[in-house]
Amino acid sequence: MISTDSRSPDTWSLITSDVALTATCERWSVAGIIGIDTEFVRERTYYPCPALIQVADNHGVVIIDPLGISDFGPLKDVLIDPSILKLTHACDEDLEVLELLTGVTVCNVFDTQLAGAFAGYGFSLGYRNLVEVLLDVVLDKDETRSDWLKRPLSSSQLRYAALDVVYLLPMHERLSREMAALGRSAWFKEEFEHRRRARAVDKLPEAAYLRIRGRGALRPAERAVLRALCQWRETEAMARDIPRRHLLRDEVLLKLASDLVLDASSLGAIDGLSERKRTRYGQALLTCIGSARTETPTNTDDPVNLQPYAGQMKHWKEIARRAADAHNLPPELLANRRALEELLISVMKNQGSIPTTFQGWRFEIITETLLNGIQNSNG
């Protein structure tokens, strides 16, 4: 079924000047609610390269060409206005693009993907799938691989961009109503804030090593070296605005951390570290490794062997599955593997505190049951 909604994606206005942006932002400043999305390119850079900003309100869709804008001040004022609700879908990268352009953190955000999970429509549902499920509208995918930085943009590209925001308002209306009926509006707000704080921590250079698969096999001293190397790579990639992998790949960092690298000749034995990269980064790597080895490993560098607790984890996963089914929630939202491991490590180390993930709305639904489960299994 194709929608005949008055919010037609075939009609939009394109903003390419500061004057037009200022005038339109005045309209949004009293709108109370807008839908917002971005298009960007991130193939050869660390930071996303903004290509379009799409905004929908009750008057229709506006597409902003950031390449033609020099003053984003009016848009910044809209983004930080707490009286304006900003609707998004899977918002992490979009919020990053908007922060890059305006220098501010967007406030009062409603993510329809997360709301869809709380309303019982599944975990991490894509925008097009959620539009179809909620509104019975089938959207095309013709421009998913467009070159969004190429100018001029085609009418097909602009229509595709408009589609990405035109249905945010009606989806918000339905999802808000359904979450309220289920008594989950406060859960949703709490979870969004929890994720916002977690994203802020994950973006810190010192947390970059947590994204490296295989780090758990390293000894504490090696993990300390890996942590230092990842922080160096993150800082260097940010300064040069290039992807991390263009500096050094993850497997090279793991090798550097686990091998006995003492001098420039030792670097030559590291697979994946070309002569060109040894020449360019060799001294910085040796300095980073040497410094990390002189420091005492922290608690975060201690490996945790969860293998003896495989049975406990299996039991917890079953508890999570049953609780998710009982509340019509995706198991991945309620308690994914990483969260369960974090709770288990906390219990093993007798830290006396429950991880933030399992406080708040999850506590009565699952946390108490999980903790009773481990107490019973230990008793």
Q: Distance from CA of residue 169 to its chain's centroid? A: 22
Per the document, the length of the chain is 379
- Helix axes 185-202 and 168-182, enclosed angle (nearest 10): 120
> Where would I find the H helices in 136-263?
155-166, 168-182, 185-202, 220-240, 244-247, 250-258
Give the helix, strand, coil percentages of the chain, each rounded to 5: 60, 10, 35
Instruction: With CA atoms as reference, report the closest residue to 362 among 322, 328, 335.
Output: 335
Spatial separation of the C-alpha atoms in residues 248 and 155, rounded to whole Å: 40
311 and 297 inside one domain? no
Q: Is residue 243 part of a domain?
A: yes
Residue where the block lists tokens 């002189």: 294
φ, ψ for residue 171, nearest 5 deg: -65, -40
Predicted local confidence at residue 11, as pLDDT: 79
| Residue 125 parent element (H or E) | none
187 and 253 inside one domain? no
100 and 17 inside one domain? yes
Which residues contact residue 299 at a Cβ distance below 8 angstroms, ignoring those fewer than 6 apart? none
247 and 295 inside one domain? yes
172 and 257 inside one domain? no
Q: Distance from CA of residue 50 to its chain's centroid? A: 17
28 and 87 inside one domain? yes
Contact assessment for residue 14 and residue 65, using Cβ atoms and an 8 Å cutoff = yes
83 and 168 inside one domain? yes
CATH number of the domain to which 29 belongs: 3.30.420.10
Q: Is residue 2 part of a domain?
A: no
Give Cα separations from 154 to 10, 14, 21, 54, 144 (angstroms): 13, 12, 21, 15, 14
Give Cα separations from 177 to 11, 24, 106, 115, 146 (angstroms): 28, 29, 24, 11, 35
Range of the structural domain that residue 318 is part of? 307-378
Q: Is residue 4 part of a domain?
A: no
Predicted local confidence at residue 88, as pLDDT: 98
356 and 268 inside one domain? no
Q: Which residues of the chain have pLDDT under 70?
A: 1-10, 142-144, 299-303, 350-352, 375-379
Name residue 88's amino acid: T
Name residue 286's amino acid: L
Q: Is residue 160 part of a domain?
A: yes
Predicted local confidence at residue 374, as pLDDT: 74
- The one-character DSSP state at 344 is H
Which residues contact residue 171 at a Cβ distance below 8 angstroms, ignoring those fewer than 6 apart? 87, 112, 130, 131, 134, 135
Spatial separation of the C-alpha atoms in residues 78 and 176, rounded to whole Å: 22
Instruction: With CA atoms as reference, report the closest residue to 56 among 212, 168, 142, 202.
Output: 168
CATH number of the domain to which 358 belongs: 1.10.150.80
Secondary structure (H, E, C), 276-302: HHHHHHHHHHHHHHHHHHHCCCCHHHC
Number of domains in the chain: 3
Predicted local confidence at residue 6, as pLDDT: 42
φ, ψ for residue 36, nearest 5 deg: -145, 140
The sign of the dihedral angle between the CA atoms of 313, 316, 317, 318 is positive
Q: Is residue 139 part of a domain?
A: yes
Name residue 52's amino acid: L
Spatial separation of the C-alpha atoms in residues 118 and 327, rounded to whole Å: 10
Beta bridge partners of 63: 14, 54
Q: Is residue 244 part of a domain?
A: yes
Contact assessment for residue 119 and residue 179, using Cβ atoms and an 8 Å cutoff = yes
108 and 253 inside one domain? no
Contact assessment for residue 301 and residue 339, using Cβ atoms and an 8 Å cutoff = no
Catalytic residues: 37, 39, 94, 160, 164
pTM (predicted TM-score): 0.90
